[in-house]
Amino acid sequence: MLVPGKILLDHAFANHYAVGAFNANNMEQVQAIIDAAAETQSPVFIQVSRGALKYSRMTYLRNIILAAAEEHPEIPVAMHLDHGNGLEIVKTAIDLGFTSVMIDGSLDETGKIPLSFEENLAVTKAVVDYAHPFGVSVEAELGTLGGIEDEVGSGQIHVTDPEQAVEFVKQAAVDSLAVAIGTSHGAFKFKEKCVLAHDVLEEIHRRILDMPLVMHGSSSVPDDLVALVNQYGGKMPNTKGVEIAQIQQAIPHGVAKVNVDTDGRIAITGAIRQFFAEHPEKFDPREYLAPARDALKNVVQLRMQQFGAAGNAPKIHQLTLNESKKFYDR
């Protein structure tokens, strides 16, 4: 069942777990995510980046996600735009029926130049004003993702300023706030070990107590999945992800949504590499896409359990049956 993102966020926040938000680009990924949610009875964000929308030519992915929600009416699913970079893409997503959008005003539309606090606030407010009348939830981002121990900058420049977070949510009626506490996208997040600014997260949570927080860049990049890729011809040295224990440490401090993409990409790649290495004579895509789908499902399922989301779908389902029906009929 398709539901507004806010319903998932608020339930997770109130019950001290985090909903997993998993990126998808194609049918197999959507099926893996919804199957994992169904098997663990978890609510879920299925999220689509701008790149994913472009790759899937807009309507394909949207229709596949709707098919997943239809196949599993008992699973509350938010269809979420990941890293929207302006009002235009947000409008497109809402036209497509997305129930949740992220406006990432931390960087400009090229994704390279940091926007000022005021610029971020302005674009975020415009998105909130546009999205809320449609019942669509809005996630904003303050601070920029990036390791706090890498060579760029002195450290603190990436991390969300708690003072600014207070001001930001006072002025923009967002439904969740993505914070930068040292995570980054991809498979190479840290040079040595996982270091997160838990103190900053805790301070932000203390100061904006009722705001669900979001962790991006939260793949844990497990050694066994990377080893499989490398065993079968891949070349991914020196990978480093976010320790699961550190995500679990963060969740009681307001983190209600945790984004995972890279772990799934690695799982899929390992499964396909292994298949081709063991069956060089095969050429039917279904034969290698099915184990890839299973590998992604296993990772997603595990994350849902680790984030505490498993078993929460029925509770939200009861809560939202009427509200979602209204939303669906709009």
Residues binding ligand G3H (CB under 6 A): 23, 49, 51-52, 82-83, 185, 261
Among positions 29, 120, 246, 259, the unique one binding ligand 13P when judged by CB under 6 A: 259
Residue 63 DSSP label: H
Beta carbon nearer to ligand G3H, 120 or 324: 120
* CA 7 – CA 330 distance, rounded (Å): 17
Q: Which amino acid is residue 164, in one-letter code?
A: Q
State yes or no: residue 50 binds Zn ion (CB under 5 A).
Answer: no
257 binds Zn ion per the rule CB under 5 A: no
Residue 56 binds which entry of ligand 13P, Zn ion, ligand G3H, none, CB below 5-8 Å type-dependent: none
**Contact pattern for ligand 13P over residues 65 through 84, marking x by CB under 6 A:** -----------------xx-
Strand 100-103, strand 255-260: pairing: unpaired
CB 261 → ligand G3H: shortest distance, Å?
3
DSSP string for 211-250: --EEE-S-----HHHHHHHHHTT---TT-B---HHHHHHH
- What's the CA gap between 260 and 78, in Å, rounded? 15
Considering only residues 186 through 205, tell me which ones interact with Zn ion, judged by CB under 5 A: none
Q: Which is nearer to ligand G3H, 180 or 313 (CB)?
A: 180
**150 or 202: CB nearest ligand G3H:** 150
261 catalytically annotated: no
Interacting stretch for Zn ion, rule CB under 5 A, among 215-223, 239-247, 270-278, 322-330?
215-223
Which lies closer to ligand 13P via its Cβ, residue 23 or residue 100? 23
Within 10 angstroms of residue 198's Cβ, the number of other Cβ atoms is: 14
Q: How far apart are CA 9 and CA 228, in angstroms?
A: 34
Count Cβ atoms within 10 A of the Cβ of residue 147 and give its class: 0-12 exposed, 13-18 middle, 19 or more buried: buried
Write out the two tokens for 127: 């998105």
Determine which one of 10, 82, 261, 263 is catalytic.
82
Pairing of strands 100-103, 77-84: parallel
> How many whole angstroms separate alpha carbon 271 and alpha carbon 292?
5
Contact positions with ligand 13P (CB under 6 A) in 124-183:
none
According to CB under 6 A, which one of 218, 239, 269, 320 is a site residue for ligand 13P?
A: 218
Q: State which of residues 1, 2, 17, 23 lies at the interface with ligand 13P (CB under 6 A).
A: 23
Tokens encoding 16: 């001290």
* Residues near ligand 13P, by CB under 6 A: 23, 82-83, 185-186, 216-219, 259-262
Return the active site residues: 82
